Structure 1
Amino acid sequence: MHKDATRGRTEVSDHDQLLVIVDPVARRSDGESVRIAKDVLSAGAETKICLPDSPEEFSRALARRGSRRPVLLGDDRALLRTVALLHRERELAEGGLSLVPIGAPDALELAHALGVPRSTPAAARTVLEGTVRRLDLLVDDSDGVVLGDLRIPGGPAPKPASAAPTVWGTCRSLVRTLVRPAPTALAVRTHRLRVEADGVLLADVDTPLEGLTVRSAGGSATVVVHPAAAPPRYATARTLTVSGPDFRYRADGRVTGPVRRRTWTSRANAWGLTLPRD
């Protein structure tokens, strides 16, 4: 790879050596896509294929990559695990990471939001022909990383209901409506949180909040606070601290907590991901 200083990105060289790490979940869930990705990558570069069977083997394979460029075949969880491992080893700033997304659609939302192509052949070709772009992330005070969106509080993701339960649910709702009047509005759950952005107080525990959302971009965290009975408040900051009664948060689709205090710091251009050329 070589750096294009005028465009702030790293061009992928045709002579790169690749370490292709196939996540076990990808092998079990979609072996055909794994085969296609391996064929495309092997036809375009010198590749070493690793098939770890456990998180420990995954970590060892990544640690022993040497000068080879790591290429991950897997879903969002595998991507997050890889970035977290490289961050903990303080090797995230070195080179770039490539991803061929393989998994269920709802397990690939982060990868697609970051700009990785949806189809397996296109993603594999991007590994060979794309550019490494530097991206921001959030690092918390427990050494965790957030690549995309952060939402507080966090709850379990809603699951789509099957057709039959939906029908029965509709019937029950209709019966309840006939028996008694429907409520005029749904109750909104509020939370008591103290929110500080670069030391500036955005909300305190005496102000009920519906929640807040955070995303790192342009070297800063963009924070949107949602008071229960007031317009949203916006701020940009390098550090964000949230404290108060036990709360959960959703980061990159995963729920963490409960915690009573957490601080996130935005880091600009902290990691590299191979994406299609403009």
Structure 2
Amino acid sequence: MSDTDQLLVIVDPVARRSDGESVRIAKDVLSAAAETKICLPDSPEEFARALARRGSRRPVVVGDDRALLRTVTLLHRERALAHGALSVVPIGAPGSLELARALGVPQSAVAAARAVVDGVARRCDLLVDDGDGVVLGGVRIGTAAPVPSPAPATVWNTCRTLVRTLARVPAQGGLRTHRLRVEADGVLLRDLDEPVESVTVRSLGGVAEVVLRPPQAPPLRTEARTLTISGPDFRYHADSHTSPPVRRRTWTARAGAWSLTLPGQPEASAAD
């Protein structure tokens, strides 16, 4: 961190309610190391206003995965993701910090706050949908088994995404399947008359890695820049959110679209 670096620390209200002591520790560590402005919003609207008024200050969000996703979404809609690195101190209820952990953020308030001060910016991929929503990570779609996390050597450049359809169709043996039309870069992978158990998508190396799992058959894998899923009204799960019913959704992979401050030393990287 340079001598002139200034921080805007936005403390999510859920973090204050769930673990006030860890919030206090994080604020103390950050304030001792840099010129820091602390914001304590009480609503998503106040959160958004505080972030919009950051000026030249580097944003630091103190909160859970939902607070991190909200911050990235707001910066994306400002078209400001490429203008600087974001930092996060993960504080929240058990189970609400899986995304931050997968991205490589330390889980203790002290270690995470020190990474904000002493860490380096690492590029992460992103999936953006045709409704201008963003997806940072995820594990399962439908009834699929979890997609393995990237190896530590590649975790800096990998942000995973999850899409789970809930348009379920009964099949033989009680197996839950989904009738969907799946297209990757305009190439038809699966049509409505070919049910699938699940569709798994993650952003990997700047492209979307797509895995289709047909019933009682080996999975089908491909890579694409864009993925379109359509069919009868279906819902999908991405990060910590479940969508309203939709009939069509397209996701586009964007390589190195945002930066996250993580522990480590500067190093040469293809993503840089």
TM range (shorter): 0.7 to 0.9
Aligned to 1:133: 122
Q: Which amino acid aligns with 1:84?
A: T
Q: 1:150 aligns with which of 159, 162, 167?
A: 162
Change (3 A) 1:119 1:154: farther
Q: 1:195 aligns with which of 174, 177, 182?
A: 182
Identity of aligned residues (%): 74
1:66 has 2:66 as partner? no
Give 1:196's aligned amino acid: E
**TM-score normalised according to structure 1 size:** 0.83
Alignment-derived partner of residue 255 in structure 1: 242
Report the AA paired with residue 119 of structure 1. S
> 1:220 is matched with which residue: 161, 184, 207?
207
Q: How many residues align?
A: 238
Deviations 1:181-223 (A, max 9, x none): xxxx962111110000001111111101111010012110000
CA contact (8 A) 2:166 2:178 kept: no
1:33-63 CA deviation, whole Å, 9 max, x = no partner? 0000000001111101111111111111101
TM-score w.r.t. length of structure 2: 0.85
Larger radius of gyration: 1
Q: Which runs of 4+ in 1 moved over 6 A?
A: none
| Letter matched to residue 58 of structure 1 | F
Once residues 102 and 154 of structure 1 are traced to their aligned partners in structure 2, the CA distance between those partners, rounded to angstroms, is 30
Q: Which runs of 5+ in 2 are unaligned?
A: 138-160, 266-272
| Aligned position for 1:110 | 99
Moved more, 186-195 or 116-125: 186-195
Secondary structure in structure 1 of the residue aligned to 2:81: coil
Deviation at 1:256, TM superposition (A): 1.2
Amino acid in the other structure paired with 2:251: W
Once residues 86 and 25 of structure 2 are traced to their aligned partners in structure 1, the CA distance between those partners, rounded to angstroms, is 19
Change (3 A) 1:225 1:68: same
**1:29 corresponds to:** 18
The CA RMSD measured in Å over matched residues stands at: 1.4
1:130 counterpart letter in structure 2: G
Q: Secondary structure at the match of 1:152?
A: coil
Pair 1:82-2:68 in alignment? no
Residues 154 and 256 in structure 1, CA contact (< 8 A), matched pair in contact too: no
**Aligned position for 1:121:** 110
Question: In the alignment, which residue of structure 2 is the partner of 1:180?
Answer: none
